[in-house]
Amino acid sequence: MKAPTHHLFLCGSIRANGEPNGVCKNKDSLALLSYLQSEVKDRMLDGVEVAMTGCMNMCAHGPILIDYPAGHFFGKITESKIDDILDAIEEGEVASQHLIS
Ligand code: FES
């Protein structure tokens, strides 16, 4: 298996008991996950994978999206920001305007 060049982790607010409960979920991160997956598929981005995570303890900036292995942390994610992040990936750049500083 080839490792992804961009593994995009979006917080789904999953807790230890398996229930999603938290800021990111309350800000529609599950719908954003569906949008992100659709966009990656539609754009046929090679080497880009998407996964949902549990709470990353950065709730104040939620919904959170992390791009590994680069380690870029993006906050207050919206569909528009997802578009910017994927546009930047396609151009070999980083959507630095959305990074959590
Ligand atoms: S619920 Fe997403 S960072 Fe805490």
CA distance 63 to 52: 11
Ligand 1 mean position, distance from CA 18 (Å): 14
CB 36 within 8 A of CB 8: yes
In a domain, 37, yes or no: yes
Ligand 1 mean position, distance from CA 27 (Å): 10
Question: Given a cut of 90, is residue 16 above it in pLDDT?
Answer: no
What tens digit of pLDDT does each residue of 82-93 get?
999 999 999 999
Q: Would you say the C-alpha torsion 32, 22, 76, 59 has a positive or negative sign? A: negative
Edge-to-edge strand ranges of the sheet holding 6-14: 48-54, 6-14, 65-68, 72-74
In a domain, 64, yes or no: no
Predicted pLDDT at 62? 95
* Cα distances (angstroms) measured from residue 96 to each of 7, 26, 32, 66, 100: 17, 25, 20, 13, 9
CA distance 17 to 95: 34
Pairing of strands 72-74, 65-68: antiparallel
In a domain, 88, yes or no: yes
In a domain, 63, yes or no: no
Q: Is 12 in the pocket of ligand 1 (CB under 6 A)?
A: no
In a domain, 34, yes or no: yes
Mean pLDDT (whole number) for 1-17: 90
Ligand 1 mean position, distance from CA 13 (Å): 5
Q: Is 58 in the pocket of ligand 1 (CB under 6 A)?
A: yes
What is the gyration radius of the CA atoms in the chain, in angstroms? 13
Question: Given a cut of 80, is residue 63 above it in pLDDT?
Answer: yes
**Number of domains into which the chain is organized:** 1
Mean pLDDT (whole number) for 4-17: 91
In a domain, 32, yes or no: yes
Predicted pLDDT at 81? 98
Q: Which domain holds residue 45?
A: 13-56+75-98
Confidence of residue 101 (pLDDT cuts 50, 70, 90): low
